[in-house]
Amino acid sequence: QNTFPKGTGLSSSGSGFAALTIAATKAIGLALSERELSILARQGSGTACRCVCGGIVEWKDGETSETSYSESIFPAGYWEVRDVVAVVDEGKKLVSSTSGHALAKTSLFYKERLANIKTKLEQVRQAIKIKDFDKLGLVEGEALEFHSILLTSEPPMIAWYPGTIEVMLAVWEMRREGIKAYFTINTGFNVHVLTTPEFESIVKERLDKLSLVVKTISAKVGEKPSELKTHLF
Amino acid sequence: QNTFPKGTGLSSSGSGFAALTIAATKAIGLALSERELSILARQGSGTACRCVCGGIVEWKDGETSETSYSESIFPAGYWEVRDVVAVVDEGKKLVSSTSGHALAKTSLFYKERLANIKTKLEQVRQAIKIKDFDKLGLVEGEALEFHSILLTSEPPMIAWYPGTIEVMLAVWEMRREGIKAYFTINTGFNVHVLTTPEFESIVKERLDKLSLVVKTISAKVGEKPSELKTHLF
């Protein structure tokens, strides 16, 4: 059972395939390690390889199925970061992640982006390690860079909805007022607004007020998937 | 007298400085050529160098004040292209063109863009020459590329408003239905929707219906500025 909104760029397929992988391997009596589960889950949906792990997770940049997997780099309680998801539309994405990945290579800017991504990843790791929230804010520029690749693909892709822009501008407005908040966007149009526990309620309140925001979902760094012994259906 | 909305990225400063240049030089008894007027107008606002010319105008990519000027490459009646401007906000731009230009150089993608711009310009010239409206549609990808440079500047700039996205997606929707329309965006958030005379009224009607569009302004390829002998005020 997956209670996550599907096809909106909030990684519903990731959570779904992670749950399926764990349930199916247990059901047939396999006792896989976290790495083995991650490798297997990735076959269903790339991002699922992250969802079998708990805490703050890094997806290793491998070239093969055996080397492209995720692992927890910090436990769930390591750093209290909040994610207020602004849902601006509950409809499906215009472009699937899979076709997006294929198209990205046609962007004039793709190579330049690739050449710089390792440095950026190291900066994010470092920001988490020293728990520097403003440094972590570089994920915002990263999201804009990623979407620029979509915008400059051939043909171009606009993954955003009007509300996406409304939320992004609102986050900048909040920051000008001293509220700690940075946005990031996956492949869809809904916006993740990262904040600290101290600012979570004001961020949620401000986002809920926006005319194009349908609802907000507050989340924090989660534990790894847990096994239920009761029937869901 | 400038009746154009100011500071919204619709080149109001261009039309204003063009009018001022022509009026002022005539008032002091100078009889400048179009090129001389263009060079002079550019000192007031870059884009003004285009507004002293009539028809379809190209701004020459010069390195000095003497070589950076505009000239008419086709007369106004050469090709009937329409521009339905979708005004999504009448407020001011968040970032001025001048500060935008300065920031653009900080984008990771700036050099790559520059390396490809001459080819693109030649393609646009060719599209106009052979009056191929769909080829001219490459201005759409160009607008997205330009805005990607803003999005990836340091710090990043979002020039768009929610309505900007609504209009862009609506244009793609129209094209899927066979309506000839391509968008382009200058430095602001309002959207120029290029179309042919045949589709002008349906494009205007569709844009007027959008929830985030304040109003539309229909325009066509204009003649050069004309001199009025009556008082405006």
> Tell me: the pLDDT tens digits for B110-156?
999 999 999 999 999 999 999 999 999 999 999 999 999 999 999 99
> Tell me: the pLDDT tens digits for A23-70?
999 999 999 999 999 999 998 888 899 999 999 999 998 888 889 999
User: Which of B165, B173, B183, B189 to mutate against chain A (most A CBs within 10 Å)?
Assistant: B165
Among candidates A116, A152, A162 on the partner chain, residue whose Cβ is nearest the Cβ of B108 = A116
Alpha-carbon distance B111 to nearest alpha carbon in chain A (angstroms): 10
Q: Which two tokens stand for residue B102?
A: 């300065």
ipTM computed for the complex: 0.89
- Return phi, psi of residue B129, to 5°: -60, -45
pLDDT band per the 50, 70, 90 thresholds, residue B11? confident
- Kindly state the average pLDDT of the residues B15-28: 91
Q: What is the pLDDT of residue A231?
A: 81
- List chain B domain ranges: 1-78, 80-227
Interchain contact, B152 vs A161, CB within 8 Å: no
Q: Give the integer Cα–Cα distance in Å for B108 and B85.
A: 31
Place domain B80-227 in its CATH homologous superfamily. Answer: GHMP kinase, C-terminal domain (3.30.70.890)
Q: How many C-beta atoms lie closer than 10 Å to residue B211's C-beta?
A: 10
Within 8 A of A93 by CB-CB distance, chain B residues are none
Q: Please state the length of chain B.
A: 233
CATH of A7-75, one of 3.90.320.10, 1.10.3720.10, 3.30.230.10, 3.40.1010.10: 3.30.230.10
Within 8 A of B139 by CB-CB distance, chain A residues are none
CA angle B96, A208, B90 (to 5 degrees): 30
B1-78 in CATH: which number?
3.30.230.10
Q: What is the DSSP string of chain A?
A: ---SPTTSSS-HHHHHHHHHHHHHHHHTT----HHHHHHHHHHH-TTHHHHTS-SEEEE---SSTTT--EEEEE-TTSS--EEEEEES--S--SS-HHHHHHHHTTSTTHHHHHHHHHHHHHHHHHHHHTT-HHHHTHHHHHHHHHHHHHHTSSS------HHHHHHHHHHHHHHHTT--EEEE--SSS-EEEEE-GGGHHHHHHHHHHSTT--EEEEEEPPPPP----S---
Which of A23, A44, A22, A42 minimizes the C-alpha distance to A33? A22
Among candidates B145, B165, B166 on the partner chain, residue whose Cβ is nearest the Cβ of A152 = B145
> Tell me: the pLDDT tens digits for A156-200?
999 999 999 999 999 999 999 999 999 999 888 999 999 999 999
Place domain A78-233 in its CATH homologous superfamily. Answer: GHMP kinase, C-terminal domain (3.30.70.890)
Q: Give the integer Cα–Cα distance in Å for A210 and A200.
A: 16
Query: How is residue B86 annotated by DSSP?
Result: E
> Tell me: the pLDDT tens digits for B165-209?
999 999 999 999 999 999 999 888 999 999 999 999 999 999 999
Question: Chain B residue with minimal CA distance to A189?
Answer: B165
